[in-house]
């Protein structure tokens, strides 16, 4: 998929239109925008809205969450990459998904060169879940069923982190299913809950509530150790996908060139917001782990994820035209 550069530039200009650059003035002296490059209701959106209020209080300025969905998060990421490097436009996204994108999409920007990390916020392992009507209670039974029945596998988008993770599981277990792409995790979950699709791989933060109310049945989690929050649900590694681990890493990035002092201030305030008792309690109750980093650590993490998943994409020949 090739994104329209004019579309990115025009939208980036709209983002930059809120006031003039601060330059030497004290940061911040105007509202701060958090761009979430997915539809409302997904993991990144949940976290952005959870931290926006405490962040606004600590910064002394309004914090506006703006959903700019499209092209598996790359539209919103591109807008931020081309925004002024002044700290007033933040990208809150699945950092792992962003790391995969250069291997799958033709992008008019380079995440490694045009964006820099501020901090990681949270990690949420992927959950492999099915509609309750599916006659499978573990991964092995699902794989066996996939060889005799048509199964539709919902993913946030082709080339997304859940899609690439699903392909890794499929290849390891020789399963057979058809991927159905959506514009975001919330829509993928909604259709699986409704029975329009039978299987889903998605971040635990946005999926667990539907498991808890019986609308979805979880078969495994993509973590190396079990989680008390989901009882005795086994890991996918235990069920045959050797050493497998995947999930959504929500983090904040800004345009490359943002002053170090501004990045440092944002890092401190974002970490304080995500670690506040109310926010931490809400997120951990839904299966997310608060996990923060310093800017340089996040940049290093991004490069490792890009290399790791780039190998999977190449071996599986995943391409989005």
Q: In Å, what is the CA distance from 283 to each residue of 142, 198, 224, 245, 276?
A: 29, 26, 20, 20, 11
Write out pLDDT tens, residues 12-50. 444 444 443 444 358 999 999 999 999 999 999 999 999
Dist. CA 15–CA 123, nearest whole Å: 28
- Of 173, 196, 230, which closes a domain? 230
Same domain, 113 and 148: no
Partners of 64 in the β-ladder: 33
Assigned domain for 82 exists? yes
Domain that holds residue 277: 5-124+247-316
Dist. CA 22–CA 78, nearest whole Å: 22
Give the CA radius of gyration of the chain. Answer: 19
- Of 230, 255, 278, which closes a domain? 230
Same domain, 17 and 119: yes
Same domain, 16 and 35: yes
**pTM (2 d.p.):** 0.86
Sign of the alpha-carbon dihedral angle for 134, 137, 142, 144: negative
Sign of the alpha-carbon dihedral angle for 142, 148, 153, 159: positive
- Of 230, 259, 289, which closes a domain? 230
Among candidate residues 264, 287, 288, 253, the one with its CA nearest the CA of residue 98: 253
Same domain, 263 and 116: yes
Same domain, 256 and 212: no
Same domain, 137 and 170: yes
Write out pLDDT tens, residues 120-140. 999 999 999 999 999 999 999
CATH of the domain at 159: 3.40.190.10
Dist. CA 218–CA 234, nearest whole Å: 10
SS3 for 119?
strand
Q: Quick check: 187 pLDDT over 90?
A: yes
Same domain, 117 and 252: yes
């Amino acid at each position: 998929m090739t994104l329209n550069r004019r579309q990115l530039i025009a939208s980036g200009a709209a983002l930059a239109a809120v006031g003039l650059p601060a330059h030497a003035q004290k940061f911040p002296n105007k509202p701060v925008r958090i761009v979430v490059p997915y539809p409302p209701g997904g993991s990144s959106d949940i976290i952005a809205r959870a931290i926006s209020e405490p962040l606004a209080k600590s910064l002394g300025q309004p914090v506006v969450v703006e959903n700019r969905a499209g092209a598996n998060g790359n539209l919103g990421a591109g807008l931020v990459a081309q925004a002024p490097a002044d700290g007033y436009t933040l990208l809150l996204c699945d950092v792992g998904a962003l790391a995969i994108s250069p291997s799958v999409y033709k992008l008019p920007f380079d995440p490694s060169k045009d964006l820099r990390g501020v901090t990681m916020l949270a990690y949420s392992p992927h959950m492999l879940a099915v509609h309750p009507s599916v006659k499978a209670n573990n991964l092995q039974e699902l794989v066996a069923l996939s060889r005799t029945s048509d199964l539709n596998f919902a993913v946030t988008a082709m080339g997304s982190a859940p899609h690439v993770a699903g392909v890794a599981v499929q290849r390891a277990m020789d399963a057979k299913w058809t991927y159905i792409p959506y514009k975001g995790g919330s829509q993928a979950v909604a259709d699986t809950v409704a029975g329009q699709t039978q299987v889903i791989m998605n971040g635990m933060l946005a999926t667990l509530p539907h498991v808890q109310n019986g609308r979805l049945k979880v078969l495994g989690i993509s973590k190396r150790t079990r989680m008390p929050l989901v009882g005795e649900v086994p890991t996918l590694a235990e069920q045959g996908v050797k050493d497998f681990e995947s999930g959504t890493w929500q983090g904040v990035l800004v345009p490359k060139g943002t002053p170090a002092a501004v990045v440092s201030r944002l890092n401190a305030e974002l970490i304080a917001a995500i670690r506040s008792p109310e926010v931490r309690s809400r997120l951990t109750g839904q299966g997310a782990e608060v996990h923060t980093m310093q800017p340089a650590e996040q940049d290093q993490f991004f490069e490792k994820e890009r290399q790791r998943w780039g190998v999977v994409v190449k071996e599986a020949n995943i391409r989005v035209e």
